[in-house]
Structure 1
Amino acid sequence: MAPSNTPLQWIRPPRQARTQQSLERLLDAAETLLRDKSFEDVHVSEIALRADTSVAAFYRRFRDKNALLYALHERFSDAAIATADEVLRDARWENAGIREILESIIPFLIEVLQSHEMLQRAVYRIALSDETMRERSLRLRRYVLGRLSELLLMRSSEIKHPDPNHAVPFALVQAGALMTEFYLTGMRDSTLLPSSDKKIAEEIVHSCCSYLFSDE
């Protein structure tokens, strides 16, 4: 729990324009279906049915299913930025140290990745070869990790690493890479590392703190 005693929550900015309503229904329908199956296994007819519209109406909005994925990722990115702005506010963490911040933020990031796993897995795979998707993903990562880096660097007196300005983003990128491997690539090996999500979060926090608090 954050020091302010308010839980960390995913925030979706309001989109109230009437022209957005049919689009939002399609995006909501797709997101709901992605909770149970991969993007490749979701069919346009299923999306249209759940959105209470027609396949023809879907194609008036999107040229194909990949165009839908772009729209889903844009909405996710807007929500992620709004969430980062709220969750990483300085005032929320006024009396917290680095370990306490990470003990709240890392499990929250894992929770977000899990709740959007199929969407983010599809984005990850397409971004490997699609420059537009890759650049948006990189901008989002830079923003979130940049905000978190700033928050931790405000507590640089706790850091024993000789170069805090390098060490903090390095530790966070390393943690992000591990979470990407576990939750986005579909390659999580429970035989090699049979850990619960809680244990993984604890080990990521321990790894970051051991690195930042060491003067070697």
Structure 2
Amino acid sequence: MTENRWISELHWRRAGQQSRSERTQSALLDAAEALIFEKGTEATSIADIAAKAGFSVGAVYHHFKDKKALFLALFDRMTDAYEALNAKASDPEIWRGATVLDLFRGYMEITLNAAREDPAAKAAVSAVVADYPELAAHYAEIQGNSRRALLKLVLARREEIGVADAEEAAAFAIDQISAMLRSCIDPAQRPAALQPIDDETFMRNALRMIAACLDLQPAG
């Protein structure tokens, strides 16, 4: 994927400088991610996690009360990273001079890059959410926040939107793109009649749909 200039500094990254204890916790969480990705939450045991990370079972329990606590920490690590990314991506200064189509392309690239950069982490957190439904509301809230931030940025450029109800049309377009992205990222959510396409083709087609839906006018 060719990255555009608007999102050059927007990436989901692991924490940098860490203490010894934090490095141990990170290694355990990394091992848990890989194992959950490979065989699911139910089949992933504390002993498996310890062995894969190269630590004793006692070391796991030193950092985490039980398997559920470890899985919750895994969820927190991922959602903290996404919330930080969303906060950066919501800054209007980053998008100074961007058009509505630039915003939508940036939103799609950020979403696709985050999913592609660490599929094991994404799959592991999805599995944890499925097993612990109480986490689903927070996960949905984070996703909703990113869509609301995009809507705010788009409506700041409402002069580009040709339809009468700019807010309704923009919210509809964002909801549709979000649903399409889920299908693009997760084959299990893709309707059987649809063929997989590469990210560039997906975004090109999606941007044409957005331009038509919003009746976009030339900026300026």
TM range (shorter): 0.7 to 0.9
Unpaired runs of 5+ residues, structure 1, are none
Name the amino acid aligned to 2:135: M
Give, in angstroms, the shift of residue 190 of structure 1.
7.4
Give, in angstroms, the shift of residue 4 of structure 1.
5.5
Normalised by the length of structure 2, the TM-score is 0.78
Which is worse superposed, 195-204 or 131-140? 195-204
What does residue 172 of structure 1 align with? 174
Give the 3 Å change call, closer, same or farther, for CA 127–49 of structure 1 in structure 2: closer
Which is worse superposed, 189-198 or 33-42? 33-42
Give the 3 Å change call, closer, same or farther, for CA 34–140 of structure 1 in structure 2: farther
Give the 3 Å change call, closer, same or farther, for CA 207–38 of structure 1 in structure 2: farther
Matches within 5 A, 1:83-98: 83-98=85-100
Q: In structure 1, how many angstroms separate the alpha carbons of the residues matched to 2:52 and 2:124?
A: 20
Q: In structure 2, how many angstroms separate the alpha carbons of the residues matched to 1:25 and 1:79?
A: 17
Matches within 5 A, 1:5-20: 6-12=8-14, 16=18, 19-20=21-22
Which of 172, 175, 181 is the aligned partner of 2:183?
181
Give the 3 Å change call, closer, same or farther, for CA 104–68 of structure 1 in structure 2: same
Give, in angstroms, the shift of residue 74 of structure 1.
1.1
Contact 1:117 1:184 in 2 (8 A): no
Give the 3 Å change call, closer, same or farther, for CA 30–125 of structure 1 in structure 2: closer
Normalised by the length of structure 1, the TM-score is 0.79
Which is worse superposed, 170-179 or 1-10? 1-10
Name the amino acid aligned to 2:169: A
SS of the residue corresponding to residue 98 of structure 2 reads coil
Q: CA RMSD in A?
A: 3.2
CA deviation profile, 1:78-116 (whole Å, cap 9, x unmatched)? 111111222332112111101122223312311212334
Matches within 5 A, 1:77-88: 77-88=79-90
Give, in angstroms, the shift of residue 187 of structure 1.
4.0
Q: In structure 1, how many angstroms separate the alpha carbons of the residues matched to 2:55 and 2:193?
A: 44
Unpaired runs of 5+ residues, structure 2, are none
Q: In structure 2, how many angstroms separate the alpha carbons of the residues matched to 1:58 and 1:212?
A: 52
Matches within 5 A, 1:56-71: 56-71=58-73
Which is worse superposed, 77-86 or 181-190? 181-190
Matches within 5 A, 1:21-170: 21-31=23-33, 33=34, 37-40=38-41, 44-124=46-126, 127=129, 130-170=132-172
Contact 1:35 1:116 in 2 (8 A): no
Name the amino acid aligned to 2:38: K
Which is worse superposed, 68-77 or 115-124? 115-124
Contact 1:12 1:82 in 2 (8 A): no
Give the 3 Å change call, closer, same or farther, for CA 142–114 of structure 1 in structure 2: same
Give, in angstroms, the shift of residue 185 of structure 1.
6.3
